[in-house]
Amino acid sequence: MLRLPALFELPILLNQSPASMAAWENLPSDFFRIVYSRRRKGVLRRRQIIETATIDGRVEDGRDEVVRWRRHLHRNPELSFQEEETSRFVYETLESFGGLQLSRPTPTSVMARLFGEEPGRTVALRADMDALPIEEENDFEFASRNPGVMHACGHDGHTAMLLGAAKILAGMREEIKGEVRFLFQHAEEQPPGGAGEMVEAGVMEGVDAVIGIHLSSYLPVGKIGIGYGPRGAAADTFEIVVKGKGGHASRPQKVVDTVAVAAQVVTNLQHAVSRNTDPLDSTVLSVTRIAGGTTHNVIPETVEMEGTVRTLQEEAREKVAGTMERIIGGVTAAHGASYEFEYRRGYRPVVNDEGVTRVVEGTAREVFGEAAVEYLPPAMGGEDFSAFQREAPGSFFSVGAGNEEKGITYPHHHPRFTIDEGALLTGMKMFVCATFGLLDGGKEAGP
């Protein structure tokens, strides 16, 4: 079979003259052109032609199957570190495609490796598989049948999309130069997270670039959200115990009122952000739980608090814990109380590599059109995709899954969250097309 990169010298790729356009139109219908490029003075710097049935056609052919996979996963959700049936389903589905080298890096994760006809770069594609401890309120035929567990963040869709992409790419092995590595990750929702465990198991060894997709109900279906640099926050947690002297509520002069002291701690902790952090360094500090006392007329010995800190810059992250402890110590000492403080570091910030993200953006514009791309500001949510990015340049981007006309507007982690299943096709196509761009050395592409 003719290796199509030899056709790069065709004049039709180098200009837009009428003769060239006519030549392009006369190419066989089963030639599909994917261009991963940035233009400099009107010249395409990277391009690739693939001789195959169109990727559009392959994606459309897989529509029903991918929707069926997603609904099966939605109906059978499993919590973090408990994805036994989910990972078994993924493994057996991948096995049915043929041509993939399968392994289980951890007890509830799956890796599939696809080796092309020739050596080259290695690109990793990631999907998370775990669900949340939420009681579903949707009345779908495929609603969760596991009480108190629900796919309320789109991970069922992520898994189905990557299965679909794996099937398409496995059928295009002759066109692949290099390796594609499919990472089906467990436990994104629960620190310490599954990504770090998979990295420790060696799944990123030799990887040149990694990408991941998150379905978003905040974006309309058909849109693709791109962000450069910081994309998601470090997600740390803390626990505080304020210790005092309990007693009768009618004699406050005889006690050290832990409730009053805890209230002062909450108020003063806000200064850790507003007066101790550079306004340009995005930081969020939220106290989300306070517990103390058993009845109306007893001042408790202790009050417990916990919450979260989100930061985009590592410098701000390093500083905030010390600032918090200084404030907590000062407030409690001023009122004759004492304290315990534990600060736990969670996922690192998600920081998108410029070169890989440029390929993702170029793919989205070429395949879906200029209007499909939206630039997204950094978000303060946490994601352990950052563990993969510490091993190789990577990009984490969003695919729109919301649809106001269908009432698909509920936020993530809501008991009525769902997705427009048309987003599954967008995600599959982005996985497949961006993979070819990155295998083709797309990280070096740019103006």
SS3 326: helix
What are the structure tokens assigned to 332, written together? 């409690």
pTM of the model: 0.86
pLDDT for position 280: 85
Name the β-bridge partners of 238: 307, 343
DSSP for 198-264? Answer: HHHTTTTTT-SEEEEEEEEEEEETT-EEE--EEEE-EEEEEEEEEE-B-EETT-GGGSB-HHHHHHH
130 labelled catalytic? yes
420 labelled catalytic? no
Low pLDDT (below 50) residues in the chain: 1-21, 23-24, 27-49, 51-53, 443-447
DSSP 132: B
Q: Residues 78, 128, 188, 208: which is the catalytic one?
A: 188
| Bridge pairing between strands 229-232 and 224-226 | unpaired
Q: What are the distances in angstroms from CA 37 to CA 204, 308, 358, 374?
A: 26, 41, 9, 18
What are the structure tokens assigned to 35, written together? 């261009």
Residue of 97, 229, 227, 109 whose CA lies nearest to 170: 97
**Residues in contact with 205: Cβ distance below 8 Å, sequence separation at least 6, in sequence order:** none
Whether residue 188 contacts residue 80, with contact meaning beta carbons closer than 8 Å, is answered with yes
Q: Is the dihedral of CA 327, 328, 333, 336 positive or negative?
A: positive
Give me the helix-helix angle, 84-97 and 155-170, nearest 10°: 20
State residue 12 phi and psi, 5-degree precision.
-65, -20
Whether residue 445 contacts residue 38, with contact meaning beta carbons closer than 8 Å, is answered with yes
**Residues in contact with 367: Cβ distance below 8 Å, sequence separation at least 6, in sequence order:** 34, 429, 430, 433
Please tell me the distance from the alpha carbon of residue 329 to that of residue 74, in angstroms, as a whole number. 47
Q: Residues 130, 179, 197, 208: which is the catalytic one?
A: 130
DSSP for 393-410? Answer: -EEEEEEEEEBGGGTB-P
Domains of the chain: 55-230+349-444 (3.40.630.10), 234-347 (3.30.70.360)
Q: What are the distances in angstroms from CA 46 to CA 40, 173, 348, 352?
A: 11, 21, 33, 21
Element (H, E) at 267: helix 258-269
Query: In sequence order, which ranges of 103-217 are alpha helices (DSSP H)?
Result: 155-170, 194-200
User: pLDDT tens, 320-356?
Assistant: 999 999 999 999 999 999 999 999 999 999 999 999 9
Q: Chain centroid to CA 354: how far? A: 17
**Residues in contact with 53: Cβ distance below 8 Å, sequence separation at least 6, in sequence order:** 30, 32
Please tell me the distance from the alpha carbon of residue 408 to that of residue 416, in angstroms, as a whole number. 9
Encoded amino acid at 250, one letter: S
pLDDT for position 442: 58
pLDDT for position 166: 98
